[in-house]
Amino acid sequence: MAVLTREEIDRFWQDGVLTVPDAVSPGTLAAFKRDFDAWVEESRAQTGPYGECIDGRPRFDLQPGHTPEQPALRRVQAPTEVSRAYYEAMAESRMAQMVADLIGPDVKLHHTKINSKLPGAATEVKWHQDFCFTPHSNSDVITALLMVDDVTEENGPLEVAPGSHRGDLFPIWHDGVFTGAIDDDTAARMQKDAVRCLGPAGSVCLMHTRLAHGSAPNRSLDPRTLFICVYSAGDAMPLTPNPVPTSHQGLFVAGEDKGVIRSEPYEVLRPQYPKTSFFAQQSASERAAG
Ligand SMILES: O=C(O)CCC(=O)C(=O)O
């Protein structure tokens, strides 16, 4: 049974983005916060990226400037591997059903992560389109950003350029450097008309993989934690190695594997595989500019 209305589905395809409340239960939200708070506590004793994912890279990434007094845990890679609450929300929630309403009936997981902006941390996300990091044989790929905290004007909300998923793919390589970011002029143009995706904790922002987006640092005293699940249609095949590899990649959360590959024509520069996380890659744009 559909969770999204016809009007919501049409709005998603028109704008490339749709925010819906109550994607998970209050109990799940409480469990998310408990697990995340425990990771933040653990991070206080660390001085650099730590832990291990299935490819040997660190699971937990820290913003430069992190201290025990002011922790700046900015990324948890593949949290579904170390938390039951995050796993169940990825596999069985209304969020997964909503994605099936948009690109189903067959939907599988690509990867999961938590992006966190703790108060006082300078974490920002430069403008980009996810498809340039994770090209697939077709673009029925959705990034679902679940709000673990209330997302407000002040705490570094996701900002998007509505309709941009129907336009060009903008390079994230510049002068031979993989910056992971759209060029400054284009980004400034997008920023001018950007729409902020706000909502109470438990809302999900469903974003088309080609939609251009970014987000500013948290200027408030409240945290901004997003649990991000990237799903694709069952017949969309990843064309490059998963930058956030997980043992859960390929799990069908709706429908089944029909053994079909569907492709659409497009061209994109092959992304660079990250050494730690996406945030470190994007800081290359500062080095390139300087
Ligand atoms: O954490 C954010 O604000 C942005 C997330 C993002 O850019 C992404 O998931 O691609």
DSSP, collapsed to helix, strand or coil, labels residue 212 as strand
Percent of the chain with pLDDT over 70: 98
284 pLDDT band (50/70/90 cuts)? Answer: low
Ligand 1, atom 8: nearest CA belongs to which residue?
130
For the CA of 128, the nearest atom of ligand 1: 7
* Angstrom distance (rounded) from CA 168 to CA 170: 6
Ligand 1, atom 10: nearest CA belongs to which residue?
130
- How does pLDDT run across 176-221, given as a tens digit for each residue? 999 999 999 999 999 999 999 999 999 999 999 999 999 999 999 9
* Between residues 51 and 64, the one the model is more confident about: 51
Q: How far, in Å, is the centroid of ligand 1 from the Cα of 235?
A: 24
Average pLDDT estimate for 147-175: 97
Structure tokens at 108: 């599988």
pLDDT the model gives residue 275: 82
Q: Is the CB of 187 under 6 A from ligand 1?
A: no
Alpha helices in 140-232 (DSSP H): 184-192
122 pLDDT band (50/70/90 cuts)? Answer: confident
Dihedral in degrees, nearest 10, Cα atoms 189, 119, 111, 206: -50
Percent of the chain with pLDDT over 90: 90
Q: Is the CB of 164 under 6 A from ligand 1?
A: no
Rg (CA), the chain: 18
Cβ burial 226-249 (10 Å sphere, 16+ → b, else e): bbbbbbbbbbbebeeebbbbbebb
Q: Give residue 245's identity as a one-letter amino acid code.
A: P
- pLDDT score of 32 more than 90: yes
Q: Are 218 and 33 in contact (CB under 8 A)?
A: no
pLDDT the model gives residue 55: 93
pLDDT the model gives residue 280: 83
Q: Is the CB of 207 under 6 A from ligand 1?
A: no
- Report the chain's mean pLDDT, rounded to a whole number: 95
- pLDDT score of 11 more than 60: yes
- How does pLDDT run across 230-277, given as a tens digit for each residue? 999 999 999 999 999 999 999 999 999 999 999 999 999 999 998 877
- pLDDT score of 113 more than 60: yes
Q: Is the CB of 143 under 6 A from ligand 1?
A: yes
* Between residues 95 and 280, the one the model is more confident about: 95
- How does pLDDT run across 54-86, given as a tens digit for each residue? 999 999 999 989 999 999 999 999 999 999 999
* Between residues 110 and 283, the one the model is more confident about: 110
Q: Is the CB of 215 under 6 A from ligand 1?
A: yes
225 pLDDT band (50/70/90 cuts)? Answer: very high
Q: Is the CB of 244 under 6 A from ligand 1?
A: no
pLDDT the model gives residue 285: 56
pTM metric for this prediction = 0.96
Q: How far is CA 173 from the centre of its chain?
A: 20
Nearest Cα to 142, choosing from 91, 227, 208?
Answer: 208
